[in-house]
Amino acid sequence: MNLLNISGSPHVHSDESTKKIMWRVNLAMAPMLLCGIAYFGLNALLISLVSVACCCLFQWLIEKYLLKVPTTVCDGSAVVTGLLLAFNVPATADMIWLVAIGALVAIGVGKMTFGGLGKNPFNPALVGRVFMLISFPVQMTTWPTVGKWFPMSLDTTTGATPLGIFKESGLSDMPGLMDAFLGHVGGSFGEVSAIAILIGAIYLLWRKVISWHIPVAFIGTAFIFSGILWLVNPEQFLNPVMTIFTGGIMLGACFMATDMVTSPMSKTAQLIFGFGCGLLTIIIRNWGAYPEGVSFAILLMNSITPLLNRWCKPARFAC
C-alpha cells in the first residue's frame, strides 16, 4: 500500500477556482459580444479577436521570458481583459490594430508589472482603455453609427454617441430610450446594449461571481444624483433614465467596477465604492472635459480600494 497523505484540516474543498470564475465572466460577456457583432458587424468581431489574442499572447510572453514563471493564460483572466478592452473601444477599422497597443498596456503595465492576476491595483482593461483615450483621442472618439444589421464592410459612417450629442447640442437630437436600452445607438461596441449587459450581470449574480452591492450602489447613485441635477435644470442636465442607459455606466457597474481584484471585499465597502463610482461619473460627465467619465471614476475608486478594505472591516462575531 502507498504511504498515507497527511495534512491539516479541512480535507475537502468546494472545487471553486479562479479559472472557473474567470470563464464564468467570459460566458457572461457573450451576449454583449453577440450584440456588438449584430450592430457593428465585422469590425466588432475583428477587434475582439485581436484584443483577446494580443492579451493572451502578451501575458504568455511576459510570463515566459520576463518573469520566467509557469504561464497562467489558461485561467481566462487575460481573455476577460481582452474582451473588456474590446468592448470599450469604438468599432472602427482603425481600432483593429490600435487595440493591440491597448492590450500591451493593459496586460503589460496594468497587470504583469504588479505581479499578475490578483496583484494589480487597477482594472487592467481600463488602464489600457484610458491609455488609448489619451494617446489616440481622435480615433478613440470617432464613433460608427448604427445602420443595418450585421454590417460586413470595414468602412463605417461615423456619428456621435448619445452623451456626445447631449454635450454638443442638447436634448433635441438624442435617440429614444428604447434604442438606448437595446443598444441601437452609437458608442463603444460592448456598452451600447443595456439588455445584453443585464443578461450577463444576472448570470454573474446567480453564479455568485459578483454581489449586487457595487452595481446597485453605482447605478443608484448615478440615477439619484443625475435626477437631482435634472430636477434643478432639465435644460442643462440629462434625465436620470437616459443617464444610466447611455454611455458606459451599465457595463462599468456590472463588469468593471465589480472586478474582484480591484474592488473592496466587505459589503459596506462595496456600497461606498459603488457610491463613489456613481458620483464621480456624473461629476465628470457634467463638468469634465470628456462626455463620459465611467473609466476615470472606476480607476479613481480602484485607488482607494486598499483604504476601504482597511476601514470597513466585516462585522465580527459578537461585536
Partner 1 sequence: MKTFKMGGVHPEENKISTQAAIEVMPLPKQVVVLMNQHLGAPATPIVAKGDKVKVGQMIAEAQTFMCANIHSPVSGTVSKIEPCKDFVGLPKNAIYIDVEGDEWLESIDRTPDIKRECTLEPKEIVAKLKEMGIVGLGGATFPAHIKYSIPEGKKAEYLIINAAECEPYLTSDYRVMLEHPEEVCIGASILRKALGVPNAYIGIETNKPDAIKLMTETAKKYDGIIIEPLKVKYPQGAEKQLINAITGRKVPSGKLPIDVGCVVSNLGTAFAVYEAIQKNKPLIENILTVTGKKLPSQHNYQCRIGITYNDIIKHALGELPETTGKVISGGTMMGKAISNLDAPTTKGASSVLVMDEDEARRNPETNCIRCGKCMHACPMGLEPYLFSALVKNKRVEEAKEHNILDCIECGCCYFSCPANKPLTDEIRLGKNMVRAWMASQKK
Residues that bind partner 1 (CB under 8 A): 1-2, 4-14, 16-18, 20-21, 72, 75, 115-119, 260-261, 265-266, 313-319
Angle 165-171-175 (CA atoms, 0-180°, nearest 5)?
65
Phi-psi region of 208 (alpha: psi -120 to 50; beta: other; left: phi over 0): left
Cell triple for residue 146?
A: 448604427
Nearer to partner 1, 21 or 103 (CB): 21
Looking at the Cβ atoms of 17 and 153, the one nearer to partner 1 is: 17
Strand, helix or coil at 60? helix
Minimum CB distance to partner 1 smaller for 109 or for 261: 261
Tell me whether residue 163 or residue 299 sits nearer to partner 1 (CB atom).
299
Shortest reach from residue 24's CB to partner 1, in Å: 11
Q: Both ends of the chain: CA-CA distance in Å?
A: 50
Q: Residues 204, 21: contact at Cβ < 8 Å?
A: no
Nearer to partner 1, 121 or 175 (CB): 121
**Shortest distance, position 243 Cβ to partner 1, whole Å:** 30
Shortest distance, CB of residue 313 to partner 1, whole angstroms?
A: 7
In the complex, least distance from residue 30 CB atom to partner 1, rounded to whole angstroms: 21
Complete DSSP assignment for 109-137:
IIIGGGTSTTT-SS-HHHHHHHHHHHHSH
Strand, helix or coil for residue 143: strand
Beta bridge partners of 143: 159
Least distance in Å: CB of 10 to partner 1? 3
